[in-house]
Amino acid sequence: MTDDRAESLRMVRDSAAAVIPADGGFGRVRRLRYTMPGFEPAVWAEMGALGWIGLRLPEEAGGIGLGMSEACALYEELGGALVPEPLIAGALSARVLAAVGEAELLSGLLAGTKLVLTAWQQDPGVLDVPGSPGAPRCFLPMAAGAEAFLVPVRQDGKLTVRLLKSGSAALEMSETQDGGHYGMLRPDALAGQTLGGDATDALATALDEAALGTAAYLLGAMERAFAMTLGYLRDRHQFGKPLGSFQALQHRAADLKIQLALTRASVEDAAAKLDQGAAGAARQAVVSRAKTRAAEAALRVTREAVQMHGAIGYTDEHDVGLFLRKAMVVANQFGSAAFHRARFMRYHAATQD
């Protein structure tokens, strides 16, 4: 890595301090749980002002043209703070809007004055986009705060995008374990304005970047949960000794550290491959490898973190439980571990032929 690239990554990580409390506390996260829309519009606007929503878009499209490594570094920092704003979903929509040439709506999204969500997921657990007209679209994160929805539809051999304003289609909300919510959109088969262009390639790229970004977010969350656990093992005493001095707990902590190291290596390698221009099967293979690793490791690390805190870890008042709740929700976003493992096997084999 060049010195310039290392400095770019450092600056991106430092910029996360704009929305992360200086004391590292979770008061804002707790205050927003089980509320609508579940995030703060002012913080979303701050993300737009910082250029985060368009971080991956080229400058000619209104973005700042940074790499996937920078995006993952940012998502990792946000994951460590459990930031609830739907930045990854917003960045996905930005790429789709840029591809179909919807400049006005894209401008509002990039500025953080609007939230636009892409209602791409027709079948639970599947990353591919069937695009059937009128089919319900599920798992829209923080959908209560969206001003508009993009609905991909297969038509005349291409993937067109329909724009639905909030309120123009039935939207059902379901609470999630972490205190957020998902929306299920039920669009009319003929409703909405059809935007220009074919979004096939743009959406495929955006979904892969979102899956990898989610893996980075999970990495940040599990790193923070592990750090909290090490602190507890150092500070908590039993039989006159720190808990961390007991060999059984040391072995468990060492196993978790290995999971973290493997996940970091997988996420950073995938981001580097995308920055080097990996496309098609090669891109899908490295993204799926990273997402599978991150989803499984995050659930293991956060569960172990709760257990190693003892009884207090199971109470809602202790912050370590927030990380397990978040991992349970985010692990399946943009494809579950089972889906990505199967996709990795399929596309990794293709790259070896």
Arithmetic mean of pLDDT, 309-318: 95
Q: What is the pLDDT of residues 96-112, one digit of tens each?
A: 999 999 999 999 999 99
Mean per-residue pLDDT, 121-134: 81
pLDDT above 90 (res 116): yes
pLDDT in tens, 80-92: 999 999 999 999 9
The pTM assigned to this predicted structure is 0.96
Tell whether the model's pLDDT for residue 353 goes beyond 60: no
pLDDT of residue 3: 82
Closest C-alpha to 75, from 205, 325, 270, 278 = 270
Beta strands of 142-220 (E only): which ranges? Answer: 148-155, 158-165, 170-175, 181-186, 193-195
For residues 168-185, average pLDDT: 96
pLDDT surpassing 70 at residue 264: yes
Q: Are 243 and 233 in contact (CB under 8 A)?
A: yes
Torsion over CA of 319, 140, 9 and 221, rounded to 10 degrees?
20
- For residue 289, pLDDT over 90 is answered with yes
Yes or no: say if 90 and 53 are a contact pair by the CB < 8 Å rule.
yes
Q: Is 87 exposed, middle or buried (0-12, 13-18, 19+ CB in 10 A)?
A: buried
CATH class of 201-352: mainly alpha
**Count helices and strands in the chain by DSSP H and E runs:** 11, 9
